Amino acid sequence: MNNHHIVSALAVMVAITMTGCASYTVQPTPKLDPTAYAQHAQVQGVYVAAKAYDTAKSCRSVFNDNLTSRGYVPVQVAIENKNSSPLIVYRSDMQLMLSNGQKLNPVSSKIVVGHFQNSVVGGALLTGVFGVAAAEDANRKRAATFKEKAFPAEIPLAPGQVKTGFLYFKVNPDEMASVSLQVQITVNGKSQMVKVPV
């Protein structure tokens, strides 16, 4: 095999490798039952459950990325309205309370996903159009996944409805011991704060 063939073969191998690295597989969102899950609380007939994904394995099982490696912990929240009245739950009314009393607000999915996007420039330099296409496709899938799994800014809940989503917190996984999620629930104009162990 002459040098030209060797270089061509190496280029193809690099392209295949880089394209594989740039791929992104969407993982299913696990179900979280607000009334059956051990870590739950209720107020005014509204049940709230919260589960932290604070290990590399648990993060990859949902996001295909280890969010903890960049200092983020996703917390899945599920809320069920067993009250007879409709209500609206706002993401801005949710905070993570650490054991030292510090309260953390959720971070936008755009900020979190930005740490995991593939370099399109790098793909162009190493693999040309195939690398760029693979990187852009993976970036789109990743951004869409992080956004779709996120708890929306506001969620209307009719009686009997259940809604779930993830909150992203900028926190060291080592600080996740003895933490709780605070959620403000307002039913018929009456607001109450519920604390859920995470």
17 and 46 share one domain? no
60 and 85 share one domain? yes
**pLDDT at site 20:** 41
**pLDDT at site 63:** 95
170 and 95 share one domain? yes
Number of domains in the chain: 2
What tens-digit pLDDT sequence spans the chain (198 residues)? 554 444 344 444 444 444 345 678 888 888 999 988 988 999 989 999 999 999 999 999 999 999 999 999 999 999 999 999 999 999 999 999 999 999 999 999 999 999 887 654 444 444 454 567 777 888 899 999 999 999 999 999 999 999 999 999 999 999 998 899 999 998 888 899 999 999
DSSP per residue over the chain, as a string? Answer: --HHHHHHHHHHHHHHHHHHHH---PPPPPP--TTTSSSEEEETTEEEEEEE--SHHHHHHHHSS-GGGGTEEEEEEEEEE-SSS-EEEEGGGEEEEPTTS-EE--B-HHHHHTTT---HHHHHHHHHHHHHHHHHHHHHHHHHHHHHHBPPSEEEE-TT-EEEEEEEEE--GGG-TT-EEEEEEEETTEEEEEEEE-
36 and 74 share one domain? yes
**pLDDT at site 25:** 87
For residue 137, being part of any structural domain is answered with yes
71 and 87 share one domain? yes
**pLDDT at site 125:** 45
**pLDDT at site 127:** 47
CATH of the domain at 172: 2.60.40.10
For residue 133, being part of any structural domain is answered with yes
Domain range for 13 is 1-29+117-148
Tens-digit pLDDT profile for residues 70-81: 999 999 999 999
For residue 111, being part of any structural domain is answered with no
48 and 86 share one domain? yes
For residue 63, being part of any structural domain is answered with yes
